[in-house]
Amino acid sequence: MASKVVHAYYLDDEVLMDAVKALKIKHYHIEEVFTPFPVHGLDKLMGLPHTRLAICSFLYGLVGLTVAVTMMNYIMIEDWPQDIGGKPSFSYIENLPSFIPIMFELTVFFAAHLMVITFYMRSKLWPFKKAENPDERTTDDHFLVEVDASHTNVDELTAFLKDTGAVEINLKDKE
């Protein structure tokens, strides 16, 4: 069964927010919203779940800290505990202050980079990826709401969207 979607265009983020609110009340299923810039509060209005990226980042930071500690403990203390300028290399804790800058940097490095990579993977972004944008104007000054139209009366939906202030409404086949 070929699924159909309706693309409704808006010119203002305030109008868009009201439209999304109205669609939610009517229990229409919003597939996607395309905006040229972040619209504050849109995610809450759409009922999107909270991101867990920060939790990932915290855990990645712990990984980085562990890597730093294990690496330096092996290299500086266990493998070849040389006397370098009188630094005490008898145990990790005795030489700890000189390791802290690296522990800090690796924690930040892992937390930041792995979080960014996670973000790319979760949002399916990479070089040479085919843009999923249905209309170029949404990167400039138009807002687009994509509503599932397979199981609803299209005329009714179109009329409803017109009322919410849409400037252009198209019925599309979804690939």
Instruction: Give me the residues that bind another protein (CB under 8 A), please.
Output: 54, 58, 86, 97-98, 100
CA torsion, ordered 138, 143, 39, 5, to nearest 10 deg: -100
- What is the torsional sign of CA 79, 94, 60, 113? negative
Q: What is the closest distance, in whole angstroms, from the C-beta atom of residue 98 to another protein in the complex?
A: 6
Nearest to 138, CA basis, from 39, 54, 46, 20: 39
d(CA 7, CA 134): 9
d(CA 60, CA 21): 37
Nearest to 164, CA basis, from 5, 23, 38, 2: 23
Q: What is the closest distance, in whole angstroms, from the C-beta atom of residue 112 to another protein in the complex?
A: 15
| Residue 54 or 116 having the CB closest to another protein | 54
Are residues 169 and 8 in contact, defined by beta-carbon separation less than 8 angstroms?
A: yes
| Residue 81 or 165 having the CB closest to another protein | 81
Q: What is the closest distance, in whole angstroms, from the C-beta atom of residue 149 to another protein in the complex?
A: 35
Q: What is the closest distance, in whole angstroms, from the C-beta atom of residue 97 to another protein in the complex?
A: 4
| Residue 111 or 147 having the CB closest to another protein | 111
| Residue 84 or 159 having the CB closest to another protein | 84
